[in-house]
A and B are shown apart, each in its own frame.
Chain A
Amino acid sequence: MRLEKKGHAAMATHHAPTDATVWKIVKNVGDVVAEGEEIVILESMKMEVPVLAEQDGTVTKLHVEPNQAIAEDEPVADVE
């Protein structure tokens, strides 16, 4: 997780942990998430690899769409 200061709230960009395709968007922009909740589920080698919220907050941006191929370390979602 890389924290980027934006105003007073800490914004966390969540990155893909592995090369994958986007399988399911669980939370949409505006949804409230608690730390540890699934935001997006990727699929890699037929495995469901979840991108979990690393902090409580609101999803402010999704960088991906379903079925999109994504490489390790590319941004998936912002939570702030």
Chain B
Amino acid sequence: MNDEWKAKLTEFESRRKRARELGGQRRIDRAHTAGRYTIRERLERAAESFSEVGEFATYDDVDALGNLRGQLPASYVMGLGTFAGRHVAIGGEDFTVRAGAPQTYLDRMKGGLGGFIEDLAHEYRIPLVMFMEGVGGDVAAQGEKGHSYLVSSLSWKRSYELLAEVPVLAMVSGASAGGTAGRTVLSHFSVMTKDSVFFAGGPPLVKRALGKDLTKEELGGAQVATRSGAIDNLAEDEDDAFEQLKTFLSYMPQNVWEMPPRGERTDPVDRPLDEILDILPTNGRKPYKAVSVIEPIVDRGSFFEIGKYWGKSVTTGLARLDGIPVGVLASNPMHLGGAMDAQAAEKQIRFVDMCSTFHLPLVYLVDVPGFMVGPDAERNNVVRWGMRAIQSLVEAEVPVVTVQVRKAYGMAVSATSDPDGLSLRIAWPTAEWGDLPVDGGVDAGFHREIEEAEDPDAYRTAVQQRMRDLADPWRTVEAFGVEAMIDPRETRAMVADFLNASLHKVRTDLGPQKRQWTIRP
């Protein structure tokens, strides 16, 4: 090696060393004390391989008066990675450098809002995995530029575009605020560690704007963010969060042009399902956990719940059935009796849109007494959200298999199948349906007739009996008003059979979604 080479390589090594030092030992120690990894440790632990891009991009660290203190690596680390055995664009903010602020000081952003990492995911059609830890923009940015700037000069277009092209996954550890929080929710799946925080603006901002003293946990702790629906899942720690990201990705194709990856077919579709008869109460007043009915039907151990802590009257998650990745929705009678409120509708819409985008067939286990009623429901705009939920199913371009488990009353039922598609509704003998349940419906529909009768109670009883006879689900089955009635123990085999056949449709429907309408009401 000649001296010139030696000099060039020495400079290279010293620059690489500096890049690896992040924002300095003091800030790295602070992360470790709080039980968090640095961005480089995250990438090291989560990815099986990592080809870094923009390693030597630099940030001029200045004090509040603009005097240069030194140079630090740019506040984002990213590149091409292997994650769960798959090529992904992967990266995240470096919180040790100006709290992960956007790199508006570079010629080209590395990531966080557009930037190279998003172009990589878009151009190569590979998933985007983001580790979010940053507080968004700050006033220091105008010092760097020499002038203030309109935030609208930065485009979010690529971030939105990716949602229709490749799986986008986000993990929050530490604080995700402002622009970083905004970027976080532009994902198909997000997970935060239980001691992280997420908000539009942090406690100092809230104190100034509203005069309210709140801790950051009260304002945007995991309890708040996973119950509002801003973040999908909760993780014990970062290692748990990495695992959840990998699990989520295992059901997903690399992009919307590819088939979702079929898993192993080791769980026989005709295995006994007798436990369903013990789990499902025949008494309609007794609730059960939706998960307890989902789990026996799908491949053993394959159900991955998404959004457990919000919109709880509908349970959603990914699973496999005969190895086929599917989106599962189920009414959850443990919460509001399974009635669809605004939150449940919102959760369902996002889930259905995602499954349709990535061509995952849907399986819906229905036990819904209707849209939620009452003053809270009305204040939360349940009718509009409910109608949007119906639209999500009308627009979904994937096969939908609906299982009528117990109740199916009112408009909410329209949000559980695809009447314009095959509309395959498979009923169990416990199923019941109609516009309204007979007991309340008789008083609502015939109250004048009942009041005017000689013996109102006897008249009511007679009307109820007549309506109950008419409501017998077997009458609907005989009229082919429902496509099948089966022994619940046959569910797994029958659903698997139809899902297998439906893959012919899925394969020929690959590519971006062709939505009929541009807006939701």
Q: A and B: real partners? A: yes
Q: Which residues of A contact B (CB under 8 A)?
A: 17-19, 44-49
> For residue B440, which residue of chain A has the nearest CB?
A46
Q: Say whether B296 faces chain A, with CB atoms less than 8 Å apart.
A: no
Q: Say whether B318 faces chain A, with CB atoms less than 8 Å apart.
A: no
A75 to B26, CA, bound (A): 43
The answer to whether A48 touches B376, judged by C-beta atoms less than 8 angstroms apart, is no
The answer to whether B336 touches A46, judged by C-beta atoms less than 8 angstroms apart, is no
The answer to whether A48 touches B286, judged by C-beta atoms less than 8 angstroms apart, is yes
Q: Say whether B200 faces chain A, with CB atoms less than 8 Å apart.
A: no
> How big is chain B's contact interface, by range?
10 to 19
With a cutoff of 8 Å between Cβ atoms, the chain B residues found around residue A47 in the complex are 285-287, 333, 337-338
With a cutoff of 8 Å between Cβ atoms, the chain B residues found around residue A49 in the complex are 287, 334
> For residue A18, which residue of chain B has the nearest CB?
B335
A19 to B336, CA, bound (A): 7
The answer to whether A44 touches B336, judged by C-beta atoms less than 8 angstroms apart, is yes
Known: A17-B334, A18-B334, A19-B376. A45 touches B339 (CB 8 A): yes
A-B contacts, CB under 8 A, total: 31
Shortest beta-carbon distance from B420 to chain A in Å: 29
Shortest beta-carbon distance from B392 to chain A in Å: 23
> For residue B372, which residue of chain A has the nearest CB?
A45
> For residue A44, which residue of chain B has the nearest CB?
B337
Main secondary structure of the interface of A (DSSP, over half): loop
A45 to B335, CA, bound (A): 9
The answer to whether B369 touches A18, judged by C-beta atoms less than 8 angstroms apart, is no
The answer to whether A46 touches B337, judged by C-beta atoms less than 8 angstroms apart, is yes
The answer to whether A48 touches B369, judged by C-beta atoms less than 8 angstroms apart, is no
Main secondary structure of the interface of B (DSSP, over half): loop
Q: Which of B493-516 contact A (CB under 8 A)?
A: none
Shortest beta-carbon distance from B49 to chain A in Å: 42
> For residue A71, which residue of chain B has the nearest CB?
B376
A43 to B491, CA, bound (A): 30
With a cutoff of 8 Å between Cβ atoms, the chain B residues found around residue A45 in the complex are 336-339, 369, 372
A44 to B336, CA, bound (A): 6
The answer to whether B285 touches A46, judged by C-beta atoms less than 8 angstroms apart, is yes
> For residue B335, which residue of chain A has the nearest CB?
A18
The answer to whether B369 touches A46, judged by C-beta atoms less than 8 angstroms apart, is yes
The one of B335, B339, B369, B372 that contacts A17, using a Cβ cutoff of 8 Å: B335
Starting from the known contacts A44-B336, A48-B287, 14 additional A-B residue pairs (CB-CB under 8 Å) come to A18-B334, A18-B336, A19-B376, A45-B369, A45-B372, A46-B285, A46-B337, A46-B369, A47-B287, A47-B333, A47-B337, A47-B338, A48-B285, A49-B287
A46 to B285, CA, bound (A): 6
A46 to B373, CA, bound (A): 12
With a cutoff of 8 Å between Cβ atoms, the chain A residues found around residue B339 in the complex are 45
A49 to B312, CA, bound (A): 14
A-B contact pairs, 27 of them (CB 8 A): A17-B334, A17-B335, A18-B312, A18-B334, A18-B335, A18-B336, A19-B336, A19-B376, A44-B335, A44-B336, A44-B337, A45-B336, A45-B338, A45-B339, A45-B369, A45-B372, A46-B285, A46-B337, A47-B285, A47-B287, A47-B337, A47-B338, A48-B285, A48-B286, A48-B287, A49-B287, A49-B334
A4 to B338, CA, bound (A): 31
> For residue B376, which residue of chain A has the nearest CB?
A19
A8 to B286, CA, bound (A): 37
A68 to B251, CA, bound (A): 45
A48 to B337, CA, bound (A): 9
With a cutoff of 8 Å between Cβ atoms, the chain B residues found around residue A46 in the complex are 285, 337, 369
A45 to B337, CA, bound (A): 5
A55 to B469, CA, bound (A): 45
Shortest beta-carbon distance from A50 to chain B in Å: 8
> For residue A23, which residue of chain B has the nearest CB?
B285
A47 to B285, CA, bound (A): 4
Shortest beta-carbon distance from B443 to chain A in Å: 14
> For residue B439, which residue of chain A has the nearest CB?
A46
With a cutoff of 8 Å between Cβ atoms, the chain B residues found around residue A17 in the complex are 334-335
A53 to B286, CA, bound (A): 18
With a cutoff of 8 Å between Cβ atoms, the chain A residues found around residue B312 in the complex are 18
A45 to B338, CA, bound (A): 8
Please give me the 7 A-B residue pairs with the lowest Cβ-Cβ distance, nearest first: A45-B337, A47-B337, A18-B335, A47-B287, A48-B285, A45-B339, A44-B337
With a cutoff of 8 Å between Cβ atoms, the chain B residues found around residue A18 in the complex are 312, 334-336
Shortest beta-carbon distance from B340 to chain A in Å: 11
Shortest beta-carbon distance from A51 to chain B in Å: 11
Interface code B342-369, partner A: CB below 8 Å = 1, 0 otherwise? 0000000000000000000000000001
Shortest beta-carbon distance from A69 to chain B in Å: 11
Shortest beta-carbon distance from A16 to chain B in Å: 11
A18 to B335, CA, bound (A): 5
Q: Which of B431-462 contact A (CB under 8 A)?
A: none
Q: Which of B316-348 contact A (CB under 8 A)?
A: 333-339
Question: Which among A19, A44, A45, A46 has the highest number of chain B CB atoms within 10 Å?
Answer: A45
Interface code B383-404, partner A: CB below 8 Å = 1, 0 otherwise? 0000000000000000000000
> For residue A50, which residue of chain B has the nearest CB?
B287
Shortest beta-carbon distance from B214 to chain A in Å: 18
With a cutoff of 8 Å between Cβ atoms, the chain A residues found around residue B372 in the complex are 45
> For residue A19, which residue of chain B has the nearest CB?
B336
Question: Which among B333, B334, B337, B339 has the highest number of chain A CB atoms within 10 Å?
Answer: B337
With a cutoff of 8 Å between Cβ atoms, the chain A residues found around residue B336 in the complex are 18-19, 44-45
Shortest beta-carbon distance from B118 to chain A in Å: 38
